[in-house]
Structure 1
């Protein structure tokens, strides 16, 4: 299985998991259902950002220790750069999905938040998996 297949599989698994976490509400007006969905995404984003921050702090601590022990800052600097790149990728990846839905701002917001949630969860899982190696 090549990297593209693994990435696509990972994204589809995250999509299914997010749809289970925040299923489309079955009752209420369209406006109420969007609000419920957005509220669920907001709650899950708070949890996921917290989890990601914990894994980032863990790796940053380990890499700072490595830098102090060896005097080589390359790994630490690369990790910091990867954090910035991830933030940019996440913002741009989700922004175009939002813009594609315009003028339906509610659907755009829902897709934007779902995209953010998918990418944050995926990044946190990747950082967690590095600990086991």
Structure 2
């Protein structure tokens, strides 16, 4: 029961976060200054999100290494490591095509790229958190 409640809270938190833009378009300044402010905000949020995701990735890797040591079966750890690399590639490719759609507006593309990265990282973190609760 506790696991279901934790998973539900995590999903609700993500939905609330999705309803409110993390780095809204600034209201003051020239367009160039606004882009700079927004991109700076995304950079700060990405640092925090990557750090948090990395902690959950290490948590799962450690647990899977212990499982491998106890059982002598490395399959789960190997699959996890492969999935982690696949996620990195997916994140890059998925956000890159969205960036390219905005060209030649490089600044709009950069903002969309960073927003995309932030969304995917946060979703992956929620997924790993919910798996740890099981």
What's the TM-score once normalised by structure 1's chain length? 0.87
Give 4+ residue runs of structure 1 displaced > 3 Å after superposition.
Answer: 12-15
In structure 1, the partner of 2:52 is 51
Q: CA RMSD in A?
A: 1.6
Superposition deviation, residue 16 in structure 1: 2.8
In structure 2, the partner of 1:129 is 130
Partner Cα distance (2:18, 2:103) in 1: 22
Partner Cα distance (1:70, 1:131) in 2: 19
Superposition deviation, residue 53 in structure 1: 0.2
Equivalence map 1:1-133=2 (5 Å): 13=15, 15-17=18-20, 19=21, 21-133=22-134
SS at match of 1:27: coil
Superposition deviation, residue 126 in structure 1: 0.4
SS at match of 1:31: helix
Partner Cα distance (1:55, 1:40) in 2: 23
Number of corresponding residues: 122
SS at match of 1:96: helix
After superposition, give the CA deviation of every residue in 1:50-91 in whole Å (9 maximum; x if it has no partner).
000000000000000000000000000000000000000000
Instruction: Show structure 1 runs of 5+ residues with no match.
Output: 1-8
Instruction: Show structure 2 runs of 5+ residues with no match.
Output: 1-10
SS at match of 1:103: coil
